[in-house]
Chain A
Amino acid sequence: MIELPRSTPSNSELNIKVIGLGGAGANVADRLQLDGLDGAELIAMNTDTQSLVGSVASVKVQLGRDTTRGLGAGGDPELGYAAADESADEIKAALEGASMVFICAGLGGGTGSGAAPLIANFARQQRALVVAFVTMPFTFEGRRRMAQAEEALESLRQQADVIICFENDRMGDAVNPRAGIQDAFVAADQTIVSGVRAIAGILRRRGLIHAGLDEIATVLRTQNSRSLFGFGEADGDNRAHVAIERALRNPLMDRGRLLADVQSILVHVAGGPSMTLNEVTLLMEELNRHVSDSTRLLFSTAVDPQLGGKMCVAILGALGAFERLPESVPRPAKALPPPVMAPVPEREWIAVAPPPKLEECPKTEPDGAVAEPVAAVAPRVARVGRSGLQQKPTREQKQEQMTFEPVNRGRFEKSEPTIVDGQDLDVPAFMRMNVRVK
């Protein structure tokens, strides 16, 4: 991976912190740490000291020294919340200076469910953009865990800018709830890791960094809309095609139909040194067929020697983000008492410079590594500032979380996707027919 030069002035603007919260979150953080995620700080936060001791994260925060005494939250979100509250100062200190915070947690237990909304709130108080990657428990974990997870998700919605939610039930052929559960978790972890990596990857590209953390934030800021996420990786002769196909195969991407409605998307393409401009063009052409003309496309590429012969693409975006409640309407907080959360400060977004053109991009990083946005598609619509968004009131306050088939595609994982007449038939027919199922 390309090192982010630590002393550039943009650095302070781009301080990325990844928090692995609770047992599930710690596993994700460890995986990120082991795979290497340059330019981001990994922080493990847990009530459970044993898990913290085992973690390889560079920063560790024990939550609720007195509340839980180093034991876990025992599946009780209130305890998890109390623990985070007790350790508020430490959490804030750890978050200090972050411009972007990823919170990774498995919802359903005590620590992740209880602490995540509060930590998200702390992060937003620091004016960081908050992206939550969370999992919903397996059905077989029982109603209680599911209810706790749902409640936590609801609270998190009020705090995070983006929620990307994975349903464990969909993580694989969880035929026997006991067998294969570990595999399903690993699959979830991997998907979360690729998401974090993709966003961090985009942020680290220098040309785009200067152009707009702001822009990225606008794309990701989907408080009242659904998020889209797709990730695809492939090698071989046809890797550009296969990678984008895989990324598009997410059911909520709806093989392009949803992409057509999307207001703005982030696309990050990375590949080994053998990646050609031709391949990038091919991939973008394919993607463009699924995107409407008015969609703003924020695009970056990176050459990453670690990827070897592989090419990967990540797509992230927001759907219908124009709907928003006036700020004066109080937000219902179910799991947590409303007064506890500090009001989130209004962000002032700076004006954006247009994304750099190909010629303007630095060809070589100071350290010699290649990191160049091969091309950047200029915004095709005028940017809508945050204040603009606020003027359109709506009844719907919820951010619908997205659910998607993870990179592990469950039943159809190892098989070639069934694409007929440009439609991915592996995506449920009722979804593609827009039949509503409650």
Chain B
Amino acid sequence: MHVKQVSIFLENKKGRLLDALKALAKAKINIRALSVADTADYGILRMIVSDVPRAKAALESAGFTVKETEVIAIAVSDQPGGLAKILEVLNNAGLNVEYVYAFAEKHENDAIVVLRTENIELGIKTLTNAKVKILEPKKVYSI
């Protein structure tokens, strides 16, 4: 149930984000979802990609500092308050959500959301108990 996310360290310099995306395009890797978190000088680009090991290799050989992290991908019914309900479940369980971002594409009418909790195992357990639909990694990479 652990989805692998590729995170890279980016300096806030013109063209660096583009360089990263170009490196992936050259390796024929599809980006399923993407988010950037930044400060004034640097940031982290987070992505769900079609092929994690090859994406990592391509980015590293292009000189980027890459880290694989584990996240949870869930299906959220596409209606107002859908995500809020899920986050509430985690909040009630005392689990801190570090970040959340969404896939561009829908999956069987559901919105796909990537989230990372401090404790992934506990996050999965809590979500499973609350009957939240958690997606298999294999499915996620190919959406």
Q: Do A and B come from one complex?
A: no
Binding site for B on A (CB under 8 A): none
